[in-house]
Chain A
Amino acid sequence: MELYQLTAHRLHAMLVKKEVSAAEITKAVFQRIDQVEDKVKSYITLTREQAETQAAEVDKKLAAGEAIGPLEGIPLALKDNLCTEGILTTCASKMLENFVPPYTATAVQKLYDANLVLVGKTNMDEFAMGSSTETSNFHLTHNPWDIERVPGGSSGGSASAVAAGQAIVSLGTDTGGSIRQPAAYCGVVGMKPTYGAVSRYGAVPFASSLDQIGPITKDVTDMAYMLNAICGHDPLDSTSANLQHPDFTKYLVNDIKGLKIGVPKEYLAEGIDAQVKNCIKEAITKLTELGAHVEETSLPHTDYAMPTYYLLATAEASSNLARYDGVSYGFRAADAEDVVDMFKRSRSQGFGDEVKLRIMLGTYSLSAGYYDAYYLKALKVRTLIKQDFDQALEKFDLLLGPTSPSTAFKIGELIHDPIQMYLQDICTIPVNLAGLPAISLPCGLVNNLPVGLQLIGKAFDEGTLLRVAYTFEQNTEYHRLRPEL
Chain B
Amino acid sequence: MISKQDVDHVALLARLELTEEEKELYTQHLNKILNAAKALQELDTTNIPPTSHVLPIQNVFREDRVGESIDPEKVLAIAPEREESFFKVPKIV
**A residues whose Cβ falls under 8 Å from a Cβ of B:** 99-103, 195-196, 209, 235, 238-239, 241, 301, 303-304, 306-308, 310-311, 318, 322, 325-332, 336-345, 347-348, 351, 353, 356-357, 359-361, 363-364, 367, 373-374, 376-384, 386, 418-419, 434-435, 459
Contacts and interface: CB of A to CB of B under 8 A. Distances in A.
Rank and list the top 8 A-B pairs by shortest CB-CB distance, nearest first.
Answer: A435-B54, A379-B50, A332-B80, A380-B45, A102-B74, A307-B37, A363-B14, A348-B17
A347 B16 contact: yes
Given A99-B78, A340-B15, 9 more contacts: A238-B60, A310-B33, A329-B78, A330-B80, A332-B80, A338-B91, A348-B17, A360-B16, A364-B30
Nearest to A355: B16
20 contacts: A101-B78, A103-B70, A238-B57, A306-B36, A307-B40, A310-B36, A311-B37, A328-B79, A329-B80, A338-B92, A339-B91, A341-B90, A356-B18, A361-B30, A363-B13, A364-B30, A367-B13, A378-B40, A381-B40, A435-B54
A196 B92 CA distance: 41
Contact of A383 (B11, B49, B57): B49
Interface in B18-55: 18, 22, 25-26, 29-30, 32-34, 36-37, 39-41, 43, 45, 48-55
A209 to B, nearest CB: 5
A293 B25 CA distance: 50
B53 A239 contact: yes
Contact of A344 (B15, B29, B50, B55): B15
B66 interface: no
A46 B39 CA distance: 45
B80 to A, nearest CB: 4
A196 B57 CA distance: 10
Nearest to A340: B15
Given A377-B40, A377-B41, A360 B7 contact: yes
B65 interface: no
B2 to A, nearest CB: 7
B24 to A, nearest CB: 13
A12 to B, nearest CB: 34
B48 A383 contact: yes
B32 A337 contact: no
A373 B55 CA distance: 25
Contact of B45 (A100, A102, A345, A381): A381
Contacts of B30: 357, 360-361, 364
B84 interface: no
Contacts of A377: 40-41, 45
B39 to A, nearest CB: 6
A274 to B, nearest CB: 24
A419 B40 contact: no
Contact of A379 (B22, B33, B52): B52
B55 A310 contact: no
Nearest to A418: B29
Contact of A359 (B14, B25, B57): B14
Contacts of A304: 39-40, 43
B17 A384 contact: no
Nearest to A349: B17
A429 to B, nearest CB: 13
A241 B60 CA distance: 11
Given A241-B55, A344-B16, A376-B50, A418 B33 contact: yes
A461 B54 CA distance: 15
B55 A435 contact: yes
B41 to A, nearest CB: 7
Contact of A310 (B13, B37, B62, B91): B37
A419 B36 contact: yes
Nearest to A338: B90
A240 B10 CA distance: 33
Given A238-B60, A310-B37, A381 B43 contact: yes
- Max chain B CB contacts within 10 Å: which of A301, A326, A337, A364? A364
Contacts of B64: none
Contacts of B41: 373, 377
A72 B30 CA distance: 48
A386 B56 CA distance: 14
Nearest to A195: B54
A351 B26 CA distance: 14
A360 B48 contact: no
Contacts of A330: 80
- Max chain A CB contacts within 10 Å: which of B6, B22, B50, B62? B50
B37 A239 contact: no
B75 interface: yes
